[in-house]
Amino acid sequence: MSKAFQSGWLRQRKHEAVKHVSFSIGKGETLGLIGESGCGKSTLSRLMVKLLPFDQGKLFFEDTDITKYTMKQLFPLRTKMQIIFQHPDSALHPRQTILQSLVEPLLLHQITDRKQAIERVMDLLAPVGLNEEILSRYPHQVSGGQIQRVVIARALTLSPRFIVLDEPTSMLDVSVQAQVIDVLKTIQKQFDLTYLFISHDLDLVAHVSDRIAVMCKGEIVELDQSKKVLNEPVHPYSQKLVNAFRGYQTNR
């Protein structure tokens, strides 16, 4: 079974942030999405989890057409697809402890009672590399890398199958970046997750993704196996991108 997303003729506001985009992501796959700032990567990611309404096109989740789903219909599906954002400093409710933020999704969806929710959260701390100590703290007392781990754990509480990672590590130190990427890779295997990994860092995308989609001015200009995009980019923009990243090594 494959998980297929199809969307085309997408439009946001009057300027077309995303247009004529069509692609699918296979189960268990990591699709890397790369492009310059303002090319519509983030808009696309929000369209895919239906945080933004789109004008035209279709969206499938596990063979179900969810294009016309209302917020109410979407509610049970929210557990299956999650999104993780870029900014760790504003990712969590500033006045809730980490524990409150972590149990919130389970209580909101009435999956478990409070006691079971806490147990489930405890089970998820190890895979994301956190310990219990952090649970009683507030977000401003916790480092950016830890926040991203908390956010990942929070998404995992609902046992999702698909996670959009919108530049999850771009605001972190390089050393912490590597750790968070490791966590993401480990849990992908452990929980059988499908990723859409958005970034403007080609090295990073190439490292985590099976396939890479290159986005430019709202369109996907190239979509192929990671190695192929990296070694023999076809579209002029991808070539520019790859050359720019290679620039450090070859041009000097």
Residue 234 tokens, joined: 């076809």
Amino acid at 198: I
Binding status of residue 79 toward another protein by CB under 8 A: yes
Give the one residue of 141, 186, 225, 243 binding another protein; rule: CB under 8 A. 141
Can you say whether the dihedral through the CA atoms of 145, 149, 154, 160 is positive or negative? positive
Binding region for another protein (CB under 8 A) out of 88-96, 125-133, 197-205, 237-245: 88-96
CB-CB contact of 153 with 124 (8 Å)? yes
Give the one residue of 55, 65, 73, 108 binding another protein; rule: CB under 8 A. 108
Minimal distance, residue 98 CB to another protein, in Å = 13
Q: What DSSP string describes 154-180?
A: HHHTT--SEEEEESTTTTS-HHHHHHH
Binding status of residue 165 toward another protein by CB under 8 A: no
Q: Between residues 49 and 198, which has the closer beta carbon with respect to another protein? A: 49
Give the one residue of 10, 98, 158, 220 binding another protein; rule: CB under 8 A. 158
Give the one residue of 20, 109, 200, 235 binding another protein; rule: CB under 8 A. 109
Binding status of residue 224 toward another protein by CB under 8 A: no
Q: Give dist(CA 182, CA 185) in Å, integer.
A: 5
The three-state DSSP-derived secondary structure of 56-78 is CCCCEECCEECCCCCHHHHHHHH
Give the one residue of 91, 130, 208, 216 binding another protein; rule: CB under 8 A. 91
Binding status of residue 94 toward another protein by CB under 8 A: yes
Residue 80 tokens, joined: 């299956």
At 128, phi and psi to the nearest 5? -95, 0
Interacting residues toward another protein by CB under 8 A:
46, 49, 51, 71, 74-75, 78-79, 82-83, 85-87, 89-95, 104-105, 108-109, 139-142, 144, 151, 154, 158
